[in-house]
Structure 1
Amino acid sequence: MGGLDLSGRKALVTGGAQGLGEGMAKALAAAGAKVVVSDLQKDAGEAVADALDSEYGGGNGFVAHDVTDDGSWENAVVAANDILGGLDILVNNAGVEITSLLTEVTADQIRKMLDVNVLGTTLGLKWGLRTMRPEGLAGQGGAIINIASVAATIAFPGIAVYSATKSAVDRLTRVAAMESGKLGYGVRVNCVYPGLVPTAMGAGLANDVAELGLFESPEAAVGAVIGLTPAGRLGEVTDMADAVVFLASNEARFITGIGLPVDGGMGM
């Protein structure tokens, strides 16, 4: 994103091995930050970290990370701090979407989305705030950016539980921002509402809702999304990544506790 400078900043991006997370890691590095990518996908995550080193200079890294596990979070922030020499940006991006009609959704599917999207984000807030607050391991304040979804603001069929979990991310963001401010942590907390992006997850959603009979074809599902979007197109990874860079930057220094729609107007 032109003009925004994150030189000297140190970031951890969860779910950074592919899709939006990979794009966000690259955008942060392009703006001057050093980045640790975390993911369960070791080979893919290490490849992203190596690519950051090759393109933007060394000092980046990867850590294996299960966002649903408290101990894994502690290990991730300690590792990021060790690799980077500090931590002042956390992007809580890791998430899962399982498409299902409400009449057919299983308890295991519900638990999976709750675990990754709600529990994972909550633990990320816990360890991000602990690490960045004045008495924390890094102790320099910073910014946490949670990744919600336009699904939190619209009623799109087939994704009821996913929508509910992303609504929870919004509420978590606002309470975390209030607690951080009241307790003097010096950490701004915001979230982004991405619109539909043709990543593996986005393409999977289009295929899934067509298979459920909600649309005639994946192409019809995508067309319906575009029809609901005043900007007249799907989102791009760079659209979402640029928003994250902005919220992490000094230009957003007086912005906290918000949900930023980056959805082409779909959720208005």
Structure 2
Amino acid sequence: MAESYDLVSLPDYKAYMSISQNTDDNKLRYLITAISRAILTRINRPSLLPRYFTDIRDGSGEKAFFLRNWPVTSIVSLTIDGVAVPSAIAGDGWRSTAFGYVLDAPDMEPPGKPQMLSLKSGCYAKGRQNICVTYMAGYQTTEVINVRTMPPYSISLSESYGAWAKDISVTDVDHNLLTAVSENPLSGQYVASAGNYLFSSEDAGRECSITYGYIPADLAIAAMDWIADRASYQDRIGYSSKSLGGQETISYLVKSIPDFVQPILQQYTNVVQTC
């Protein structure tokens, strides 16, 4: 995608709208970025792709709170008054009496839901901006594949939940991490591009797990429909209706957010309060 926060790519939008010519590409790129930013602002989420976040909040004596972004895939660190808190899962989880945190299991199918970070055998001490948690969150999935045994040594992902948007990692059955390169992969390397992965001939037949970030399909379609609506507005700026030769009148529905987009955005809207 052209911008890291774009919800759709230009090729995907043009394919969706059956556009073959390139004369409006610059305008469409601008609209894709503008509408993507409008959607992220509307749903109150800074990003949908996997990345690190840090939440800093006031402690009020509670035993749990919701993290602001989801789905959360890992906790990097949690501190209370500057003191590191360990994971309770490292021991016996809730059966243990040891002090530590427990993260709700993620709902990896979109839209997902916010997750609570709970404390076991303790509570979040009262204080001003004394709780700091860093974590990884965003829509991602993993597909298990076998590299082709004959050239080209490539595979295309199924992208069941939505279009590929970000490469995260490729590992083999022994959990060895393969290295991403820009071209001409050697053994243990790969090239990732728009949902297609190219491997070396030396890795032919190798079983791998590919983890990647994606934009949920329903949200991407909502973005494309809104982009199309905005693109058509150029021919009717300022008009709410138009008369066709006095024979009939076409009325336009002019709203800040199209009605057909709003229900989808609602599913992804963040209502978790920060404090």
TM-score tier by shorter-chain length is under 0.3
TM-score normalised by L of structure 1? 0.26
TM-score normalised by L of structure 2? 0.25
